Amino acid sequence: MPVHELAGVPARLVPLLHRLGLRTAGDLLFFFPRSYEDLTRVCRISEIDGSGPVSVCGVVDEVELRALGPGRTLLGALIRDESGALRAVWFNQSFMQQRLVRGQRVMLSGVPKRRGLGWELAHPRLVPVADDAQPTAGPMLPVYPLTEGLVQGRLRKIVHRVVAALADEVVEVFPAPFLTLHQLWPIGRALRAVHMPQDSADVRESRRRFVYQELLVLQLALALRRWQLQRTERAPALPATAKIDARIRRLFPFELTADQEQAIRDIATDMGRCIPMNRLLQGEVGSGKTVVAEYAMLLAVAHAHQAVLMAPTEVLAQQHFRTLGEDLAQSRVRIELLTGALTGTLRQQLLGRVQAGEVDLLIGTQALLHEPITFPQLGLVVIDEQHKFGVRQRAALKSAGSDPHYLVMTATPIPRTVAMSLFGDLDVSTLRQSPPGRQPVHTYLVADAQRDRWWSFVRRKLQEGRQGYVIAPRVEEDESASVASVEEVYERLVNGPLEAFRVDLIHGRLSPAEKEAAMAAFRRGATQVLVATSVIEVGIDVPNATLLTIESGERFGLAQLHQLRGRVRRGQFPGYVTVFAQPGSPAAQERLAAFERSTDGFELAEIDFALRGPGDLFGVSQHGMPPLRVADLQRDQQLLVEARQDAQALTAGDAPPFFQEEFAALRSQVLRRYSAALDLGDVG
């Protein structure tokens, strides 16, 4: 039923409800409170200690209405119980005076504030109480998100009315035995309890049911997607025979680490089957993911299939093209680069050759996705630095033959719970150890007063032959002057501490060619110091660069800082990172302190996650997934693990229980919510 047809909703409020996304009675039922005002604690006036909201019961004594100015009033009342008195005040609500009858007993609820020697309640909730009634507990009031023009009390009334009328009409998605088994409250009870709780147990249990349901629906969607891919898609089986394995390894300039070996085994097992691989390779910056991807790609090529490697930026695509090109110089593998920079006839020619099967390895950026390319035998798609891509862009690359295997790589360690939710449909391989011979990296959070010391250290290292980066935030014009922009920083350095050195500037507004030229000069050492925005954040690999200076460090996220640090953690020399920061928010300071303290990306990811608090973490919606509405991946980890296990159990086996009739309602909920995002088609 649309909201405008509901009793008790005046026409004036309809657009406001719409603005909150509330169009139907059903929307209202599932519009969950953001928090609660807990007024259940009833106490005597003398027992008020200011620790939080309370309800007190007393008799109205004095009432006074004062005019404060044109149209502004202050209504005050003194309320007494046998232990003392407190003042209640209302601004501009003179109508409340009618409800304040001297001698009347009332219950007042609110958050008491100290006023002189006594307590004051501003705008308390007021309920008359019969003289002989013994007040039990005060209310537990839901607090809903609001929009301008709609007040809390009004929205509460609207929701309560709908809940009272319709809560028991809502279809239960869980079969009764399932509810019992998982100790979940039935939908009607849960809805009433979430909107009109009597006590904190109501809040806890109703919330638990909805959080579990939301997480289970998500996990079922992910499980279904997996199930469906395994069932419907057919990939070429590309096993790593001993001969192929030896041929590939000959091309690598180093021994692989144990983690790399394990990842390669995982991948080779996946690719050896005709079910498409769907694997996430996560590993710290510099942990050596590229060579693992290279193995996978060469495995495809060895079986006369094509492989594609997509990088998030031009610079990275070029770098991959170069590294792979070096490794493959002595082989017959045909490798090409396709980025946005390649246009016109050259582009058409390249595309023609790709489609004719004359290219074995195609390296590129998202530009690859702009036109549909059909490969004759696409065996593998590798997506580097997953975080910069939407998760679900895989459909754009097609093969004339069967479906390709997928490998996505990320250097941003993902908190476990987020991985389970965003990437729950992927298998995961992790590179934890760094390649051998890695030097430590030292991180310093430095006060402005020490700038001179740092720059003289930098000069010494530059003279020894090292190179360095200086990173500053990109600056939009209207931003505060306290933030150093790249251009300013560059000017300051070349006219100051680094004037004797070869310094260059690279930022997002340069053309791809200019960027590549700047990178090339830096790579061959022609440039000693590169001043940059975070364009160098991902993937750039210049082992001789060991010095990193970060300006306005409070402006960067923890993951980003850690990514940046990865740039000077690459060669046989120790790295030095110095962060200059303005005193920022407490969260920013904790971020910086954590960054200085730890170099373990997985640990930092968990800290970052905790610091960000609840909300749409890691931009679940950026990944094309609908946002979670009640669950909080930080707070609800336990339920997430439970929901994940349950989802797996429900979808396991040849005849998964999930496809039985009793789960039809749950199934349609899963599809309604996730079928578009996860391309679930018409499963079940």
Which residues lie near Mg ion (CB under 5 A)? 539
CB of 290 to Mg ion, least distance (A): 5
Structure tokens at 354: 């790709």
Which one of 88-96, 253-261, 335-343, 544-552 is the stretch in contact with ligand ADP (CB under 6 A)? 253-261
CB of 435 to ligand ADP, least distance (A): 3
- Using CA atoms, how far apart are residues 429 and 288, in angstroms rounded to an integer? 13
CB of 433 to ligand ADP, least distance (A): 9
Give the number of other Cβ atoms within 10 Å of residue 269's Cβ: 14
- Asked if 91 touches ligand ADP (CB under 6 A), the answer is no
Quick one: what does residue 254 bind among Mg ion, ligand ADP, none, with the CB cut-off 5 to 8 Å set by partner type? Answer: ligand ADP
Binding mask 272-291 for ligand ADP (x = CB under 6 A): -----------x-xxxxxxx
Q: Do 509 and 432 touch, CB atoms closer than 8 A?
A: no
Task: Return the bridge partners of 73, or none.
Answer: 67
Of 71 and 253, the one with the shorter C-beta distance to ligand ADP is: 253
CB of 537 to Mg ion, least distance (A): 11
One of 257, 278, 282, 410 touching ligand ADP (CB under 6 A): 257
The backbone torsions φ and ψ at residue 598, rounded to the nearest 5 degrees and listed phi first, read -125, 140
DSSP class of residue 24 equals B
CB of 574 to ligand ADP, least distance (A): 15
- Using CA atoms, how far apart are residues 307 and 299, in angstroms rounded to an integer? 9
Q: CB under 8 Å to 499, separation ≥6 — which residues? A: 493
- Asked if 428 touches ligand ADP (CB under 6 A), the answer is no
Nearest to 195 by CA among 184, 182, 210, 183: 210
Task: Return the bridge partners of 338, or none.
Answer: 364
Quick one: what does residue 541 bind among ligand ADP, Mg ion, none, with the CB cut-off 5 to 8 Å set by partner type? Answer: ligand ADP
Alpha helices in 437-527 (DSSP H): 451-463, 486-494, 512-523
- Using CA atoms, how far apart are residues 57 and 37, in angstroms rounded to an integer? 18
Q: Which amino acid is at 228?
A: Q
**Alpha carbon distance, N-terminus to C-terminus of the chain:** 28
CB of 316 to Mg ion, least distance (A): 7
Quick one: what does residue 286 bind among ligand ADP, Mg ion, none, with the CB cut-off 5 to 8 Å set by partner type? Answer: ligand ADP
- Using CA atoms, how far apart are residues 487 and 509, in angstroms rounded to an integer? 12
One of 20, 63, 179, 256 touching ligand ADP (CB under 6 A): 256
CB of 565 to Mg ion, least distance (A): 14
Quick one: what does residue 276 bind among ligand ADP, Mg ion, none, with the CB cut-off 5 to 8 Å set by partner type? Answer: none
Binding mask 211-250 for ligand ADP (x = CB under 6 A): ----------------------------------------
Which one of 7-15, 142-150, 254-262, 439-447 is the stretch in contact with ligand ADP (CB under 6 A)? 254-262
CB of 364 to Mg ion, least distance (A): 15
Q: Within 105-134, which residues bind ligand ADP (CB under 6 A)?
A: none
Cα 518 to Cα 252, 506, 530: the distances in Å are 28, 7, 8
Of 280 and 666, the one with the shorter C-beta distance to Mg ion is: 280
**Closest-CB residue for ligand ADP?**
288
H/E stretch holding 55 reads strand 54-69
- Using CA atoms, how far apart are residues 211 and 246, in angstroms rounded to an integer? 50
Report the residue count for the chain.
684
- Asked if 435 touches ligand ADP (CB under 6 A), the answer is yes
Cα 72 to Cα 62, 67, 88, 90, 604: the distances in Å are 20, 6, 17, 11, 52
CB of 254 to ligand ADP, least distance (A): 4
Of 388 and 570, the one with the shorter C-beta distance to ligand ADP is: 570
Specify the residue for token string 């509460």: 156
Quick one: what does residue 435 bind among Mg ion, ligand ADP, none, with the CB cut-off 5 to 8 Å set by partner type? Answer: ligand ADP
Q: Do 384 and 539 touch, CB atoms closer than 8 A?
A: yes
CB of 294 to ligand ADP, least distance (A): 9
Residues that bind ligand ADP (CB under 6 A): 254-257, 260, 283, 285-291, 411, 435-436, 541, 570
